Amino acid sequence: MTETTGAEARTRGSDRLVIAGASAGTVFEWYDFYLYGSLAGFITEHFFSGVNATTGYIFALLAFAAGFAVRPFGAIVFGRLGDLWGRKNTFLVTMTLMGVATFVVGLLPGYDRIGVAAPVALIVMRLIQGLALGGEYGGAATYVAEHAPPGKRGLYTSWIQTTATLGLFLSLIVIIVVRTRLGEDAFKAWGWRIPFLASALLLIVSLWIRLRLNESPVFQKMVDEGTTSKAPLTESFARWPNLKLVLLALAGLTAGQAVVWYTGQFYSLFFLEKMLKVDGVLTNGLVAVALLLATPFFVVFGWLSDRIGRKPIILAGCLLAVLTYFPIFKAITVAANPQLAAASAASPVTVVADPAGCNFQFDPVGKKTFASSCDLAKSALANAGVSYANQAAPAGALAVVRIGAVEVKSFRGEALPAADLKAKKAAWTKTLGAALKTAGYPAKADPAKIDKPALVGLLWLLVVYVTMVYGPIAAALVEMFPARIRYTSMSLPYHVGNGWFGGFLPTTAFAMVAATGNIYYGLWYPVTVAAVTFVVGLLFVKEMRGADIEG
């Protein structure tokens, strides 16, 4: 009995080390990846100052998109290596790449010192981060799943699922602490670099833990038997039976999971700060509290998926998002900025304009001036963070901003010289601002009037949806694919879903808001994608709970 008890204790200790090693490294990688998003404003000021309009736009776009865009390529590169070299060796490489790239960002000289080389170097580091993250998740999830005992695969892999949220939480906490201790001026000047440099310590700890791990028993068995894949890319994507599974994993699981994840943990943060004008530090704090309270549910839903299946929980999370996102975000508006909600209800804003004079105000080369009466009206309202409806006017009519019963006429600026246009636009914007203020529209959210408990509760609910779709996803993906090509096959749909469908959600949603004037219109993007995933997953994805993953 003593020997049995000792063996069980050693097994449990080994399991804890496996989970801790895989999770610690993945938390560290997500921490690094999210720092850029959280500090993008400070980074932009240091690395893009002095660049001409065209170059600055291109660099800003690349810097934002690079980390997300290359994640699927990292999945292909490192997924292949993981199926050839082994799970452990590959995620040691990805973690080291991520750590070095992040540390270097903290050391990079700004544009004022090395000119255009600064944003170029920054983009290169973001590319390396994205590639590394593309290879990390598949390795960590596969490694833990292949160690998990029967009936506990969902529970074990759910710890990996907590890492993205914990990484985001950790990055927010570090930023808040450093920002508070140093003060805004010092943080803006140089303190923003400290969170990047601190990643060196996390890298050392994570490497130390992971170096103590052994190779996955499933992969080691394949090596011993000589059954590892010699061409994992070909087997994964050039043979229809497996390619079909990859496509189903993307459309029926990861695309919906991704948009629910990014809406709950990123878009909500942007919505509060940019749309509702809540103070940035307060926004980060509220989101951090909600994340902390909801994180245990990753494990709860991972455990539950071992009992009732992965698919029912993931699809239920997608369906809840589809049905409740609009009322939840409207409730967030009332809790976060009640003055704005009241003004919008009492004095709704409408832009009455000739549709032919309203342009989509996106100019990649920075040469076009949007000076029609409609464009001027919409631009001013967008900058003020005011939601508005659109109403068609007769052809050639001057645009009018209607605020309740009050009308503010716009002006035509197409024929005005640049200096005159600027002066008249400033004067007209001041007039519009006064009318909005009279109608009760606030310039920013009043912290004293924010219903913080209600707001945290709503943010918590959004993150609970995240835990439903994300907690069981690793086990679901691992069980879909054969062991010899698992790392490669599961990594690509995961990172296409999360890197592209999810990663570009804030940009896409805000573009939709800008085009329509409705602050809630951007929610149609995650609602539509989640609805597609629900239908495809319900009809075509097979439940694989408890499947043999050694074959």
Are residues 17 and 101 part of one domain?
A: yes
What is the model's pLDDT at position 401? 95
Backbone angles phi, psi at 24, to 5 degrees: -60, -45
**Among 251, 289, 295, 316, which Cα is nearest to 529's?**
251
Tell me the two tokens of residue 45.
């000021």
Are residues 413 and 291 part of one domain?
A: no
Are residues 199 and 86 part of one domain?
A: yes
Contacts of 97 (CB under 8 A, 6+ apart): 128, 129, 131, 132
Residue 298 lies in a domain: yes
Structural contact between residues 500 and 68, judged by C-beta atoms closer than 8 angstroms: yes
Contacts of 539 (CB under 8 A, 6+ apart): none
Residue 479 lies in a domain: yes
Tell me the two tokens of residue 469.
């779709």
Are residues 423 and 291 part of one domain?
A: no
Containing domain of residue 381, as a range? Answer: 346-438
Are residues 430 and 316 part of one domain?
A: no
Contacts of 313 (CB under 8 A, 6+ apart): 301, 304, 305, 468, 469, 471, 472
What is the model's pLDDT at position 126? 85
Other CB atoms closer than 10 Å to residue 280's CB: what's the count?
A: 14
Other CB atoms closer than 10 Å to residue 60's CB: what's the count?
A: 16
What is the model's pLDDT at position 1? 40
Are residues 331 and 247 part of one domain?
A: yes
CATH of the domain at 425: 3.40.30
Distance CA 364, CA 384 (A): 23
Are residues 137 and 245 part of one domain?
A: yes
Distance CA 525, CA 513 (A): 11
Contacts of 506 (CB under 8 A, 6+ apart): 262, 266, 267, 270
For residue 466, CA distances in Å to 251, 266, 337, 461 come to: 17, 11, 24, 9
CATH of the domain at 234: 1.20.1250.20
457-478: burial string, b at 16+ Cβ within 10 Å, e else: ebbbbbbbbbbbbbbbbbbbbb
Q: Which of 438, 467, 496 is the last residue of a domain?
A: 438
Q: Is the dihedral of CA 76, 23, 43, 429 positive or negative?
A: positive
Are residues 162 and 47 part of one domain?
A: yes
Structural contact between residues 450 and 284, judged by C-beta atoms closer than 8 angstroms: no
What is the model's pLDDT at position 59? 62
Are residues 461 and 409 part of one domain?
A: no
Structural contact between residues 113 and 519, judged by C-beta atoms closer than 8 angstroms: no
Per-residue pLDDT of the chain (551 residues; tens, 9 = 90+): 444 444 444 344 477 777 877 777 778 767 876 787 678 767 777 887 665 444 554 566 567 667 778 888 888 888 888 888 877 788 788 888 888 988 998 999 988 888 878 888 988 888 898 888 888 777 788 888 888 888 899 999 898 888 877 887 888 888 889 988 998 889 989 999 999 998 888 888 888 887 887 778 888 888 888 888 888 888 888 899 999 999 999 999 999 999 999 999 888 988 898 889 898 889 988 988 998 899 999 999 999 999 999 999 999 999 999 999 999 999 999 999 999 999 999 999 999 999 998 887 655 444 567 889 998 998 888 777 788 999 999 999 999 999 999 999 999 998 899 899 989 999 999 999 999 999 999 989 999 999 999 999 999 999 999 999 999 999 999 899 988 888 888 888 988 998 889 888 877 887 788 778 888 999 999 999 999 999 999 999 999 898 877 76
DSSP state of 401: E
Distance CA 128, CA 143 (A): 23
Distance CA 76, CA 492 (A): 6
Structural contact between residues 531 and 318, judged by C-beta atoms closer than 8 angstroms: yes
- Give the residue carrying structure tokens 């949007």: 370
* 3-state SS assignment for residue 270: helix
Residue 549 lies in a domain: no
What is the model's pLDDT at position 220? 85
Are residues 259 and 132 part of one domain?
A: yes
Residue 545 lies in a domain: no
Q: Which of 438, 472, 496 is the last residue of a domain?
A: 438
Residue 550 lies in a domain: no
Are residues 495 and 417 part of one domain?
A: no
